[in-house]
Amino acid sequence: MGRAPCCEKVGLKRGRWTAEEDEKLRKYIQENGEGCWRSLPKNAGLLRCGKSCRLRWINYLRSDVKRGNISSQEEEIIINLHASMGNRWSLIAAHLPGRTDNEIKNYWNSHLSRKFHGFRPNPQFIPPPPPPPPSSKPKKTKNSNKKAKAAAKTATAAVVMPTTPTPEKESSVGRPGKERESEARESGSSMVGELDDLNMTEDLSGLWGPTLDFGTGSEISDPGLGQLDNSSLQIYEETLSWIWNDEDDKWNSNVDNGEMDGAMLSWLLS
DNA sequence: AACGTCTACAACCGCGTCAAA
DNA sequence: GTTTGACGCGGTTGTAGACGT
């Protein structure tokens, strides 16, 4: 089905937002609430595309957006969630209060994708629960329904899992060939174990459960697991064996095939 | 100081989804 | 059942500032 452009681009301003534009957008949304992005620019007196306004609001102007450096704890959450979800930035962002999908995506592309060409998922990792949705945010019924359905769908349907990234593709993000060449020489073909070198082990059990230990996939000394009931523990163990093959020390083939059982994913995300 | 290169991140683009008409 | 249009997501591009020579 053909799609009309989201807006009439002729005469619209592009590029960086000015403080004046930010103020107009902020003021309008404070008075009228979010939504109706298509008509918002006109009503707010902005020469911007509705999508651009939405992006600016969601990523920078919203009061609950956390600005500043990604903490080491947040970084570890990103790494582990990316290992199990792939480039599902919005899902990952849901576990990081105040962080947006765009910010996480940029952070991954500029910092983490080069740090970890590939790595084994941490079997002990249990993501923190997503924060409850802010009650003050008015939402159109249409969107609420869509969100609920999308969430239900995510929890039950098979999803595409990330394949092991190739060094070329992974290292090519926004990077010139010269650097890729030198990096390829330095890194060799090793795809596993860079995290071992980073000594990133950190006890975050006080936050959401098990100790995080990126480097030692098979050694489980995990206070958090002891708190799981039998059925959760069973799903957990099935998930681990499904994702990671300890014997071969590599992704299981079913991961590469790209499907994940809904119950497992649901449990991982719960 | 001038120039070239690199990096981080803000913003844009295209597409899929889904509700309403 | 089909079409339309808004929304949201993920990939990609553009660019300002930092850094190196």
* A88 strand C contact, CB < 7 Å: yes
* A76 strand C contact, CB < 7 Å: no
Domain with A27, as residue range(s), is 9-63
- Asked whether residue A154 is assigned to any structural domain, the reply reads no
- The counts of H helices and E strands in chain A are 15, 2
Give me the sign of the Cα torsion angle A145, A33, A18, A64: negative
| Cα atoms in the Cβ-side hemisphere of radius 13 Å centred on A115 | 16
- Asked whether residue A46 is assigned to any structural domain, the reply reads yes
* A156 strand B contact, CB < 7 Å: no
- Asked whether residue A81 is assigned to any structural domain, the reply reads yes
* A51 strand C contact, CB < 7 Å: yes
The verdict on A49 and A76 lying in the same domain is no
What's the confidence (pLDDT) of residue A126? 59
The verdict on A41 and A74 lying in the same domain is no
**Residue spans of chain A under pLDDT 70:** 1-10, 114-270
Q: Closest nucleotide to A150's CA, by C1' atom?
A: B17
Spanning CA of A145 to C1' of B19, the rounded length in angstroms is 9
| Residues facing residue A212 across a β-bridge | A202
The verdict on A58 and A86 lying in the same domain is no
Choose one of A41, A63, A85: the last residue of a domain: A63
Residue given tokens 């090793």 in the structure block: A190
- Asked whether residue A54 is assigned to any structural domain, the reply reads yes
* Residues A26-65 pLDDT 10s: 888 888 888 788 888 888 888 888 888 888 888 888 877 8
What's the confidence (pLDDT) of residue A5? 43
* Residue A97's CATH number: 1.10.10.60
What's the confidence (pLDDT) of residue A231? 54
The rounded mean pLDDT for chain A is 58
- Asked whether residue A233 is assigned to any structural domain, the reply reads no
- pTM for the full model? 0.56
* A104 strand B contact, CB < 7 Å: no
List the alpha helices (DSSP H) in chain A. 19-32, 40-44, 50-56, 72-85, 89-93, 101-107, 113-115, 141-156, 167-171, 177-187, 194-198, 205-208, 230-243, 253-257, 262-269
- The residue lying closest to nucleotide C14, measuring its CA against C1', is A15
CA separation, residue A227 to residues A209, A216, A218, A230, A231 (Å): 9, 21, 19, 9, 12
- Asked whether residue A256 is assigned to any structural domain, the reply reads no
- Asked whether residue A57 is assigned to any structural domain, the reply reads yes
- Asked whether residue A48 is assigned to any structural domain, the reply reads yes
The verdict on A21 and A56 lying in the same domain is yes
Cα angle, residue A89 at apex, residues A82 and A126 outer, rounded to 5°? 40
Choose one of A47, A63, A79: the last residue of a domain: A63
What's the confidence (pLDDT) of residue A136? 34
List strand B contacts in A 185-244 (CB < 7 A).
Answer: none
The count of structural domains within chain A is 2
Choose one of A76, A101, A117: the last residue of a domain: A117
